[in-house]
Structure 1
Amino acid sequence: MIFLENEGITNPKLNLALEEYALRNFSADSDYLLFYINEPSIIIGRNQNTLEEVNQNYVEENNIHVVRRVSGGGAVYHDFGNLNFSFITNHDVKSLNNFKKFTAPVIKVLKSLGLDAELKGRNDIEVDEKKISGTAQFSTGKRMVSHGTLLLDTDLGEVVNALNVKMSKIQSKGHKSVRSRVANISEYLKTPLKIEEFRSLLLEGLYDESEPFETYHLTPEEWKAVHQLKEEKYDTWEWNYGRSPKFNIQRTRRFPIGEIDLRIFVEKGTIKDFKIFGDFFGKEPVETLEKIVEGTRYEKSDITNLLKDISLNEYFGDISKDDFIELIYGEDEIE
């Protein structure tokens, strides 16, 4: 395992560019660990509709960054009280969506600090049924990143202020508010820790899980490439806010694998535009599936025939084909 030093950068666009650059370019002969702390920001899941996830007026008035990441899952709020971790490893079918494997060493460190932490639901680390960490994954097919947040001392009020939390998500969690089911790690510590101290303790604990880490500092040439990726991708409106479609049909349903939100534009009986949003995790980009569906007649038999040889699990995780077809062509209101 090699520890990547991010040199104290707190710009979320640059940190996400660093993470992706390392994922796509660093040697497959080694695994990498990256820590970073971001300025106040909302990090959007790869498949989400940004304009519907954020309180746009609030984020603009408070200079909160809005950045899309490469992995699926839901939108999360970052600030200086939140520590982010990333494990970059070779792609492994057994490891994809295996959040237990990658959270186990983190949970072990949290337990050493006195927290009764455990992995719950799809991808959350919880203490006393309150979420203190969320995780997500992304695979290129050759390499994969498993990353997550650790809420040490985040301003939880800003989570509600900056995000538009959908009722379907609140109802699925069985709670009246998101604030009530999120907590800071600091609430469970006997001795207060600064974020830098917490980072050091976590790193020391992870050292114990393997051979001593090598610390790697990027070269000037590598940093130049990271900055270029930031400018060409993470700085752009197209990446962070794009994909807002023209539609005349909306279908939304929450499944065990997450919410799927379809926006369909039908003209003269044919699907002209088909967009998929949600907080699900999948290996293949949903844009591929969107292109397959576009141009098809908006008839259940046509859609069923079109999807008969398509593996939907590659895009969404464990979902039945019948459920997805029903979502496309079901009742008018599925909220």
Structure 2
Amino acid sequence: MLTIINNETDPLYNLALEEYVFKHLHINEDILLIWQNKNSVIIGRDQNPFREVNCPYTHKNKIPMFRRLTFGETIYHDLGTINYSFIVRDVKENFDRYNIFLDPIVKILNELGVPSHLESDGDICLEGLRISANTQTYHRNKMIHHGVLFFNTNLEKLDQVIEIPTKSEFEYDIVKTKHNGITNIKEYLKEDLSIKQFKKYLLDKLIGEDLIDKQYKLDYIDKTKIKKIAKEKYSTWEWNYGESPKFIIKKEFDNRMMITLIVEKGIINRVSIDSFENVMALVKGLEGSRFDEKSLKERLRFCTTIDIDKLIETLLF
């Protein structure tokens, strides 16, 4: 197994790197990636960000949201969170066998004094709390096992970022994020280690201490292709929001009307408004709009009988 030393903390680049190695880098070796992202929210491949993410909080605190290529739950990332991806060629022998990838990590954690164990759902836990979440997917003859380790994550921010709206507001959700307790690895280490030291220890144990002959070094062509994927996919509204599953949202507005929206691929395609007022202009403005602030403001600018900013805040936040 080889590794790619990656000190980049931009989630756009790192998501694109992961996809590039997984789908486009054709070498006869398995690859282990270990990296960190700066403040960001990363949702699963088939998740609904409008359902999973506390949008008012992330908007106010300028925390960006991105969709990853693997399935699973929403995760808050910061520089206290470690990501790892095992990208391997033998799908038949490895897919859906989480223990193959996680037993070595559990062993390493226990060596460091962290009394952890692997749960049947693919989480690594200790004392009933999660310290790692994991997911897998495959593409042609390769698979990826992706996970995070909560080393020294800001758990207060993590709790703020992930929100569950009331059941009456959302229908047609696919994968929902687990909200059971999470704790940090750093609190349980028998010796105080920085995250840099912990990453090195992890990499040395998984790959071997002599990394000189165990690295794949990205060249100019590799990096150019990675940046292209970041720009054309992971930075786009179409990927991050437009790939959301169909959902229905119901909101009461200003004690004047009950609004029901059916949203598919991030676009409002059906609108129902229960009101005694004439709402034809509002229905026309909503239908066909992206379910985002900029598009709604543009589409509803001619609706002069209601407070548009207040309506948008009600619908989105």
Identify whether the pair has TM-score above 0.5, normalized to the shorter chain. Answer: yes
Kindly name which structure, 1 or 2, has the bigger radius of gyration based on alpha carbons.
2
Q: Percent identity among equivalent residues?
A: 36
1:27 aligns with 2:26: yes
The CA distance in 2 between the partners of 1:81 and 1:209, in whole Å, is 23
Amino acid at match of 1:131: R
**CA 67–246 in structure 1, closer or farther in 2 if over 3 Å, else same:** closer
**CA 61–198 in structure 1, closer or farther in 2 if over 3 Å, else same:** same
> Per-residue deviation at 1:210?
11
> Per-residue deviation at 1:236?
0.3
1:95-142 Cα deviation digits (max 9, x unpaired): 212111111111111111011211114110001111000011120021
**CA 103–116 in structure 1, closer or farther in 2 if over 3 Å, else same:** same
> Per-residue deviation at 1:192?
2.0
The CA distance in 2 between the partners of 1:82 and 1:150, in whole Å, is 6
Amino acid at match of 2:183: A
Structure 2: runs of 5 or more not aligned: 168-177, 251-261, 271-317
Amino acid at match of 1:129: G
Tell me the equivalent position of 1:203. Answer: 203
SS at match of 1:122: coil
**CA 106–246 in structure 1, closer or farther in 2 if over 3 Å, else same:** closer
**CA 32–166 in structure 1, closer or farther in 2 if over 3 Å, else same:** farther
The CA distance in 2 between the partners of 1:188 and 1:166, in whole Å, is 33
Amino acid at match of 2:13: L
Task: Determine if contact 1:33/1:87 at 8 Å carries over to the other structure.
Answer: yes
> Per-residue deviation at 1:166?
6.6
Structure 1: runs of 5 or more not aligned: 169-176, 251-262, 266-271, 274-335
The CA distance in 2 between the partners of 1:12 and 1:123, in whole Å, is 23
Task: Determine if contact 1:91/1:141 at 8 Å carries over to the other structure.
Answer: no
The CA distance in 2 between the partners of 1:136 and 1:13, in whole Å, is 19
Aligned pairs (5 A) from 1:61-140: 61-140=60-139
Amino acid at match of 1:85: Y
The CA distance in 2 between the partners of 1:199 and 1:72, in whole Å, is 24
Q: Note the aligned Cα RMSD (angstroms).
A: 2.8
The CA distance in 2 between the partners of 1:126 and 1:50, in whole Å, is 26
Tell me the equivalent position of 1:188. Answer: 188
SS at match of 2:100: helix
Task: Determine if contact 1:186/1:193 at 8 Å carries over to the other structure.
Answer: yes
> Per-residue deviation at 1:57?
1.6
Give structure 1 regions of 4+ aligned residues with deviation exceeding 4 angstroms: 208-213, 244-250
The CA distance in 1 between the partners of 2:227 and 2:162, in whole Å, is 28
The CA distance in 2 between the partners of 1:149 and 1:44, in whole Å, is 13
> Per-residue deviation at 1:238?
0.9
Task: Determine if contact 1:248/1:264 at 8 Å carries over to the other structure.
Answer: yes
Task: Determine if contact 2:2/2:207 at 8 Å carries over to the other structure.
Answer: no
Tell me the equivalent position of 1:44. Answer: 43
> Per-residue deviation at 1:15?
0.2
Amino acid at match of 1:90: R
The CA distance in 2 between the partners of 1:232 and 1:115, in whole Å, is 41
Aligned pairs (5 A) from 1:285-304: none
Paired residue total: 245
